[in-house]
Amino acid sequence: MRGSRLNQVKAAASLVVDKLSAGDNISIVTFSDRAQVVIPSQKVGNKVALVSRINSIIASGATEIYQGLQAGLRELRKERIDEHVSHMILLTDGHTYGDSEQCLLLAKDAAEKGVSMSAFGLGTEWNDEFLDALVAPSGGRSAFIELPQQIIAYLENQIEGLGMMFAQNVQLQYRFPTRVGIRFAFKVSPYVQPVPVEKNILKLGMLEGSTPVTCLLEIGVGPQELGSFLELPYQVSAELIGLENELARVTGKQVLAVVESANTPELDPELVQAVQALTYYRMNEKAWQDVEAGRLETATRRMEQLTKRLQGAGFRELAQQAANETRRLQQLGSMSDEGHKRLKYGTRRLLSGKLNG
């Protein structure tokens, strides 16, 4: 990382220092082919000295994320994790080489020990699927920061969210009947993030004091006996901050009647808009998967449909980006990393602020 990108990162880190209180701990680690602890884990005391250390960071080349994560986790473990909100923020502008599996295992281990993680990709030369997988074990956030001048706003928003945290490690556990299951889950607030569906548990991350955790769930229902009732039991659990991580639980269930036909209920307009935005996101992701699998005709058709839908909905910039990627597919048989990221995170942003009531 170098140039204006590095300068903005240093400015953002300095802002983080300014936002923290004397009771907070901070540590900053840089990494290339090796990790360097710029600020060892310590209370926020002399802010001028901390900012001076941040300003001493110099540019470097290679990207080996595992070295940085490992060093960062060592610093976090210097304090009792169960007595604090322990969160690691990763900023990267490149692909990690040869250590991605180690990174994912470390992220899983960190989450099990109470450390959550967020990850921000700067520019376009980084792996978006890797960052999504990295934050998934703790229910964290990943985001695309396209321009250096956006870095400060993203970090400021992240720090403010941590400061308002009411509970962490929010999980939804469910035991649905045979031939009923969650196919797809997507968190809408407090931030927009796909949620992996695994072992009847959804890991939803943190709960902020003023913003609910809201999710869109796609539930698949196979053939059922007419006239029967489907019971969908669930439990939501979370560790309450400031109460020695006391575990709070709420249980409930939804009951659905299996009928031959039913009246279509009046749907919340915000729900309809959220589902439409999620459809755009999934169309782009499926087109990318089609390209990687060599299904170029299918990918092109998807992108043509996505372009029309975005145009019809009035999202001109996203529609233009989709049209550009469609032409690239037709002419070169590929999609650009830059275009894919703009569409992926642009359609995610359409979900932001939906369903918060």
Give the residue with greater pLDDT, 128 vs 5: 128
DSSP 282-343: HHHHHHHHHHHTT-HHHHHHHHHHHHHHHHHHT-HHHHHHHHHHHHHHHHHS---HHHHHHH
Tens digits of residue pLDDT in 168-213: 999 999 999 989 999 999 999 899 999 999 889 999 999 987 788 9
Task: Based on the fold, state whether residues 16 and 134 are members of the same structural domain.
Answer: yes
Query: Total domain count for the chain?
Result: 3
Q: For residue 356, is it within any domain?
A: no
- Which residues 6+ apart lie within 8 Å of 153 measured at CB? none
Same domain, 16 and 109: yes
Residues 31 and 45 in one domain: yes
Q: Which residue has better confidence, 349 or 59?
A: 349
Phi, psi angles (nearest 5°) of residue 323: -65, -40
Residue for token pair 């609910």: 212
Is 222 domain-assigned?
Answer: yes
Looking at the structure, tell me whether residues 111 and 48 fall in a common domain. yes
Mean pLDDT value across the chain: 90
Q: In this structure, are 236 and 281 located in the same domain? A: no
Q: What is the identity of the amino acid at 304?
A: E
Task: Evaluate if residue 332 carries a pLDDT over 80.
Answer: yes
pLDDT band at 328 (very low <50, low <70, confident <90, very high): very high
Together in a domain, 279 and 249? no
Same domain as 133, residue 55 = yes
Domain termination site, one of 163, 195, 219: 163
Q: Where residue 242 falls among pLDDT bands split at 50, 70, 90? A: confident
Q: Indicate if 147 and 13 belong to the same structural domain.
A: yes
Return the pLDDT at 244.
Answer: 66
Q: Is the pLDDT of residue 230 over 60?
A: yes
Query: What's the pLDDT at 96?
Result: 81
- What value does the mean pLDDT take over residues 257-280? 90
pLDDT, average across residues 307-333 = 97
Handedness of CA 261, 267, 271, 277 (dihedral sign): positive
Domain boundary among 198, 229, 257: 257
Instruction: Select, from the ranges 13-17, 91-95, 273-277, the one with the highest average predicted confidence (pLDDT).
Output: 273-277
Q: What pLDDT, on a 0 to 100 scale, did the predictor assign at position 10?
A: 86
Note whether residue 355 is domain-resident: no
The reply to whether 333 falls in a domain is: yes
- Residue 245 scores a pLDDT above 70: no
Range of the domain at 342: 269-349
Output phi, psi for 86, to 5 deg.
-105, 115
Q: What percent of the chain has pLDDT over 90?
A: 61
pLDDT (mean) for 82-91: 83
pLDDT at 72: 93
Label the pairing between strands 35-43 and 86-92: unpaired
